[in-house]
Chains A and B, each alone.
Chain A
Amino acid sequence: MAANEYYTRMGDGKRVLMTKDQILADIQAGSADAADMGGIQALDDNDVEALLEIVCDRNRTVGVEPGKEVPLTYDIGQLDFTGDNGNSGNGVDMGRLEAALLHERALGADTFELAHSDYSIKPVKPVISMEMQTMEEIQNEIVIPYFYGAMPNMGLYYAPDGPYGNPADLMREFKIEEAMDQAEKSAQALARDIEYVATKIYDAGADGFNFDTTGAAGDADAVGTFNGVEKLRKACPNAYINVGMAGESVMGIHGSIEYDGQVVAGLYPHQQCKLAQKAGANVFGAVVNTSCSKSMAWNLARAVTFVKACTAVSGIPVHVNMGMGVGGIPMFETAPIDAVTRCSKAMVEIAKVDGV
């Protein structure tokens, strides 16, 4: 390695050597891409300089100054241990109680959650009474706030997994109006199921609910979730509700469906957070996806630009999603620690997030 080169990563996790000038160029390009797509401010010179320093740090891991730490919350429950590497897990089998206590007592988690192996709202319905029992049992042992977590995952309401026509299939046949209609019906079913599952589990002692990857099936998925959160907020005024998104832009599978009078397709984090707050969320989980073909510097600069614009306007705390393929971190099953620490430090110090 030459003196002017630095070890860094590509978006797929591959280690590469880059010069400081190359890293700087990628930081500027990544930030400019976010600014262009989101209609937001690019990072200023001070932020670019700070980001360059973080990426170019010669140490393997980096961190924030003592006293500047932020809350560390987890999604996907015990599945980060019990899932295999196709599920962002480590393939270590253990019970849900053990996983919860391990996160609380060994891994520094400030919150944790119970999750079903399918980690989706719809499959929880038929097993809700068992989930309630487990929630109650674990709440008797755990100290940190303990939520229930699941993805809205509206794709499960479409054929072949659910009762509604699949928009992807319908649109291929140019049945666009029908596709939109089916998306709207699915969103209504999702909102009903969110209210059912979340109020039941809240009754069993959950401190709140974490909606993970909201909008993964597109804009109707996001609208269904926001409507479900609204119902949940009315039913459980004191519940702690975290709405985490699926990406920096809400995919327009419907294209014109609205929440609170606003078209949801194409909204970016600084716009998404306002709808989450309006629905009744306590915390917004900003997400920016990683491009495997770009460097970590490009991805991180892009992610920080989006999230900084979000934290600047959000009326509720922003806990940025940091993990495999999000937040500038490479899309690699075992997220490299050098990337995880650099991206986390940048999010805290430059994007000013409230939590990770």
Chain B
Amino acid sequence: MTDFTKENKELYDAMVAYKVPGITAAVEGARKAGMSATQIIDGLSAGMTQVGVLFERGKLFLPHVLSAAAGMKQAMTILDPELKASGETTAKKASVVMGTVEGDVHDIGKSICSTMLQCAGFDVHDMGRDVPKQTFIDEVKKGCTFCGMSALMTTTMTVQRDVISMLKDAGLRDKVVVMVGGAPVTQAYADKIGADVYGDSASETVAKVKDL
């Protein structure tokens, strides 16, 4: 079995350096060395996880995370023909509706979480900020099996509870994993309102969801 330690490190380092040209160069180098598309994606994903950690520690910032995500997207475009030819699958893990609840315009944490979920292979429907309650319900009806709600104010965190009630009323609660997060939200509050997943950070949320 070929040892790709060097190439994996290059993929990882390129993602952490978050520059699109560097990421595509690392992908091309890995292909030349004989790595398969899925091996390359795994290498990039490890780097992306570290990007999330560095963001949460204040060492990287939002444009850097999104630049890394753009590099990941570019890498997928390069690898897509090989994936199709080899029959390897890049099927999305699940569809996720994400949004900051209505009345709340705090966007950043939710956007980071959306980006990290996308990089982890989820099909993310990011509805933005100030998202009406009914929009979450509609997206679940359309097939989303994960529903992520962010609230950054004590006055809007109650909307998370309202949406869970609406999911119950619509007979959809058992069909969807409800994730909640945001500065005033805690595990205790998530338990109280009947959410399935509480994320203290974007990387924690992704780690929990990947394990489901």
Contacts and interface: CB of A to CB of B under 8 A. Distances in A.
A176 B63 contact: yes
B193 interface: no
A259 B67 CA distance: 23
A293 B66 contact: no
Given A168-B107, A174-B69, A251-B108, A14 B61 contact: no
A172 interface: yes
A350 interface: no
A171 B111 contact: yes
A255 interface: yes
A86 B155 contact: yes
A253 interface: yes
Contact size class for A?
35 or more
Interface in B150-189: 153-155, 183-189
A266 B188 contact: no
A266 B63 CA distance: 13
Contacts of B154: 86, 331-333
Contacts, number: 79
Interface in A132-184: 155, 168-169, 171-172, 174, 176, 179-180
B153 to A, nearest CB: 7
Interface range for B: 20 to 34
A252 interface: yes
A292 B185 contact: yes
Given A37-B57, A86-B155, A293-B200, A176 B111 contact: no
B59 interface: yes
Interface string B98-122: 0000000101100100100000000
Interface string A287-311: 0010011000000000000000000
B16 to A, nearest CB: 15
Contact of A292 (B62, B64, B184): B184
A251 B184 contact: no
Interface of A: 10-12, 14, 36-37, 85-86, 155, 168-169, 171-172, 174, 176, 179-180, 218-219, 249, 251-256, 265-266, 289, 292-293, 325, 331-333
17 contacts: A11-B186, A12-B184, A12-B189, A86-B153, A86-B155, A172-B111, A180-B63, A218-B62, A219-B61, A249-B58, A252-B63, A255-B64, A256-B63, A266-B58, A292-B186, A331-B183, A331-B184
